[in-house]
Amino acid sequence: MDTPPRQNQGISAYTWLKKDIIRGVFPPGEKLLMSHLKERYDLGVGPLREALSQLVAERMVVAISQRGYRVATMSLAELNDLYDARSQLEGLLLRLAIERGDDDWEAEILAHAHTLSKVVEVNGPDEVLDIWDARHKAFHQAIVSGCGSVHLLRVRESLFDQAERYRHLWLRETVFSEAALATKREEHAALVEVILNRDSPRACAMMREHLMTPVPIIAGVLERRGLL
């Protein structure tokens, strides 16, 4: 039997750090002390610096030469620009998917729409959040993957990652509100319908709106919690 192909510590450091930044363990703007990180993850500075360098490239962390690293700040301006960018890009990918998608693509969308609509409470609300989020992501992923472009999908993912901290704020507001959840269900059903009808202009417009609805909600949370 082969031992699990031991991956280097830089990768684990990257994974943990990214998760903790998204979850808000390290709030926006916070200084990331080497001493603290070393202790928290029980790793040396080498691997940590590697991980931080990657996160700098992903704009999750900012490096200031000779002054270490900080968690990237959040702002209303960034929220707006990021969601605008995301929704415009999603519109483009959807248009391409409608042009290029085949029967399998359609089938996948229907399948994911179904599982998403069937999320029910199992072991407390926190589990619902995770499951709904995972299926929601998978649903949208299924839609855009019809565009067939690895690079466009990657670029989408990078914007998605950058938005993750904002999205996380919205998620709690939405999943725990039956009304909000119902609205989303309707929006998703409507989306599936126009997409399968291959009505590109209408579908793209709906998609862009669908992606922009969280913005005012997130803006509210940000201000209330003073995360700016």
Partner DNA sequence: CAACATAAAAATATCTACATTTTTAATTTC
Partner DNA sequence: GAAATTAAAAATGTAGATATTTTTATGTTG
- Binding residues for DNA, rule: CB under 7 A, are 5-6, 8-10, 31-35, 43-47, 49-50, 63, 65-69
Closest distance of CB 155 from a second copy, Å: 5
* Residue among 15, 159, 14 at smallest CA distance from 86: 159
- Report if residue 53 touches a second copy, rule: CB under 8 A: yes
Give dist(CA 217, CA 208) in Å, integer: 16
Closer of 15 and 158 to DNA (Cβ): 15
Closer of 8 and 158 to DNA (Cβ): 8
Give kind and range of the element (H or E) at residue 134.
helix 125-144
CB atoms within 10 A of CB 203: 24
Check: CB of residue 207 under 8 Å from CB of residue 144.
no
- Report if residue 92 touches a second copy, rule: CB under 8 A: yes
- Report if residue 88 touches a second copy, rule: CB under 8 A: yes
Identify what 51 binds: a second copy, DNA, none; CB under 5 to 8 Å per kind.
Answer: a second copy
What distance, in Å, lies between the first and last C-alpha atoms of the chain? Answer: 52
Identify what 193 binds: DNA, a second copy, none; CB under 5 to 8 Å per kind.
Answer: none
Give the pairing of strands 61-64 and 68-71: antiparallel
Which range, of 57-65, 111-119, 123-131, 184-192, touches a second copy by CB under 8 A?
57-65
> At residue 69, what are phi and psi to the nearest 5 degrees?
-120, 150
Q: Which of 120, 121, 151, 178 binds a second copy (CB under 8 A)?
A: 151
Closer of 24 and 68 to DNA (Cβ): 68
Partner residues linked to 31 by β-bridges: 70
Q: Which of 30, 50, 106, 133 binds a second copy (CB under 8 A)?
A: 50
- Report if residue 123 touches a second copy, rule: CB under 8 A: no
* Residue among 94, 93, 118 at smallest CA distance from 189: 118
Closer of 38 and 185 to DNA (Cβ): 38
